[in-house]
Structure 1
Amino acid sequence: MQTQAVIDHITHWLKNYAATARANGFVVGVSGGIDSAVVSTLAAKTGLPTLLLEMPIRQKADQIDRAQAHIDDLSSRFANVSGRRVDLTPAFDRFADTVDVDEAEYPAKQLALANARSRLRMLTLYYYGQINGLLVTGTGNKVEDFGVGFFTKYGDGGVDISPIADLLKTQVYELAKALNVIESIQQATPTDGLWDNDRSDEQQMGASYPELEWAMSVYGKQPPEAFEGREREVLEIYTRLHRAMQHKINPIPVCEIPPELLIKS
């Protein structure tokens, strides 16, 4: 990959899109992870106002520290960058108490609450985006957005633009190094930060990003049965996740009414 050329391309794309949309700049939710760090740095390089929102919800201390360190670093490097901390824990706790149900009766409760965290952050990003005339800028990469659907529908999937959605996770790491993203973020274990037990992305999906990138490259060309051992296992994981995520990327189904039914009888 021509790293610097890709950086320049995305930076110009962001700037041109904002001008066409008549937006003032960008708002990015920063989590202390690699994707949001790269996206926010690319947005900062446009020279347009870039607001970084840290939105903790029962967040682990190391994630908060990395997010804040990134905001401080980027603010010191770019005059157009500002940061804001919006603690959403009280709002989330109130919501969780309000909709509380018996987990034995509703086994999907914890997953629903995890997705609710992401959707609450989306609401917050759009609030600050609207009052400042900023575009909500997505942080999903290609494997997550189009491979295994590792995002929340109408949560972190609810954005105006997606600048790194055509890049694999390993390519995002290449950009992070070239963009001088702080070392603690480059070395951090990827996690979505939506669970109280701080499970990693790999623990949730059952495979690492390099493994999933390999599976993405062979999916549709050869069936899992063509492989053995770990490769077969990974391709089976990818196949299952990819098929299950189609509702996230396909257009919302619309019931089309036959024209003759719309004519009064």
Structure 2
Amino acid sequence: MQTEKVVQHIVSWLKDYLETSHQKGFVIGISGGIDSAVTSTLCAMTGYPLLNLEMPIHQEKNQADRAKRHIEWLKTQFETPIDSIEVELTNTFDALVAALPPTETTDKVNLALANTRARLRMSTLYYFAGLHNYLVAGTGNKVEDFGVGFYTKYGDGGVDLSPIADLMKSEVYEIAAFLGINTEIRKAKPTDGLFGDDRSDEDQLGASYDELEWAMTMKESGHQSEEFEGRQKEVFDIYSRLNRINQHKMVPIPVCDIPAEYK
């Protein structure tokens, strides 16, 4: 990958899109992870205002600390107007959970509540976007957004534009190294932070991003499960299943077309 040219292209694309939309800057949720770190840095490179939001909900301390240090790093690296706000959403989340009908705790309940966290953060991002006429910048990469659908519909998937969604996770890491993103972020295990513990993305997905990138490439090249064996077959099947069951996230919302003669 021609990293410098890719970075320049994304920064130019961000500036063009912002100017065309007649908005004034960007707002982004900072998690302490690699994707939000890279995306926020690319937004800062445009020279337009950037608002970084920390939105903890029973957040692991190490994740929150990485987010804070990244924001401080941004402020020292760029002359761009860079602001940050912490919005503590734990009490809001707990109040919503308390208002919901009591139910037995299951994996489905835990997943639904994890997605609820993401949707609370999306609402918060758009609150500030509306206040300042900013665009919400998404942080999803290609494997997450178009491979396995590893994001929350109308949560972290609810954005105005997606600067890194055509980049594999490995390419995001390449750009992070090029941009000088903090080593602690580059070495941290990827996690969505939606369960209030230290489980990683790999724990949830059953495969690493390097493995999923391989499977995505094989699938798009027309390969079939029976061509592989051992761990490769296992990973290919994991990817294929997630890609299949999460298609509802990746395709446009279906519209029921009414026949003209019925109108």
Q: Same fold (TM over 0.5)?
A: yes
- Report the more deviating stretch, 193-202 or 150-159: 193-202
Structure 1: 4+ residue segments shifted above 6 A? none
**Secondary structure at 1:47 match in 2:** coil
Using the alignment, how far apart are the partners of 2:107 and 2:206 within structure 1?
20
1:92 alignment partner in structure 2? 93
Q: Does the aligned pair in 1 maintain the 2:60–2:197 contact within 8 Å?
A: no
After TM superposition, the score normalised by the length of structure 2 is 0.97
Q: Does the aligned pair in 2 maintain the 1:23–1:133 contact within 8 Å?
A: yes
Using the alignment, how far apart are the partners of 1:14 and 1:261 within structure 2?
43
Closer/same/farther in 2, CA of residues 63 and 107 from structure 1, 3 Å limit: closer
Indicate yes or no: 2:71 matched with 1:71. yes
**Secondary structure at 2:91 match in 1:** helix
1:218 alignment partner in structure 2? 218
Using the alignment, how far apart are the partners of 1:205 and 1:109 within structure 2?
18
Using the alignment, how far apart are the partners of 1:184 and 1:99 within structure 2?
38
**Secondary structure at 2:85 match in 1:** strand
**Secondary structure at 1:219 match in 2:** helix
1:193 alignment partner in structure 2? 193
Displacement of 1:100: 4.0
Question: Could you give the per-residue CA deviations for residues 180-231 of structure 1, whole angstroms, max 9, x where no partner exists?
Answer: 1111101100000000232100010000000000000010511111101000
Question: Could you give the per-residue CA deviations for residues 54-102 of structure 1, whole angstroms, max 9, x where no partner exists?
Answer: 1110000000000000011101212321111111111111011111421
Q: Which amino acid aligns with 1:15?
A: K
1:26 alignment partner in structure 2? 26
Using the alignment, how far apart are the partners of 2:107 and 2:87 within structure 1?
30
Using the alignment, how far apart are the partners of 2:248 and 2:24 within structure 1?
32
Q: Does the aligned pair in 1 maintain the 2:55–2:88 contact within 8 Å?
A: yes
Using the alignment, how far apart are the partners of 1:69 and 1:100 within structure 2?
39
Q: Does the aligned pair in 1 maintain the 2:57–2:196 contact within 8 Å?
A: no
1:111 alignment partner in structure 2? 111
Question: Could you give the per-residue CA deviations for residues 116-168 of structure 1, whole angstroms, max 9, x where no partner exists?
Answer: 00000000000001101110000000000000000000000000000000000
Using the alignment, how far apart are the partners of 1:98 and 1:251 within structure 2?
32
1:136 alignment partner in structure 2? 136
1:182 alignment partner in structure 2? 182
1:3 alignment partner in structure 2? 3
Q: Does the aligned pair in 2 maintain the 1:58–1:89 contact within 8 Å?
A: yes
2:209 alignment partner in structure 1? 209
Q: Does the aligned pair in 2 maintain the 1:75–1:83 contact within 8 Å?
A: no
Displacement of 1:236: 0.2
Unmatched tracts of structure 1, length 5 or more: none
Q: Does the aligned pair in 2 maintain the 1:44–1:50 contact within 8 Å?
A: yes
Using the alignment, how far apart are the partners of 1:2 and 1:255 within structure 2?
43
